Amino acid sequence: MPTIGWFEILIVVAIAIIVLGPKDFPVMLKKAGSWIGTAKRYVNNIQNEVSNIDIDEDKIDKEIKEDNKKDD
């Protein structure tokens, strides 16, 4: 997987300032940050739900084993 260094980031920022202009660049950064934050929250929620499913499955497995022991 390729890595992005400081020089590449500097080039992207310079091009963005030239294309967007120095006035609109901070506004675009704020929007991009908002989008990234929303995406992170969405992924975090999905991870939490998957973890809860795993925990529920473990509880069900324990209950089934306990019921099987009682039946014996």
pTM: 0.57
User: Residue ranges of the domains in the chain?
Assistant: 22-71
CA-CA distance, 12 to 19, in Å (whole number)?
A: 10
List, for residues 29-71, the tens digit of each pLDDT value. 999 999 999 999 999 999 988 887 777 777 777 777 777 776 6
Using CA atoms, how far residue 67 sits from 29, 52, 56, 63, in Å, is 57, 23, 17, 6
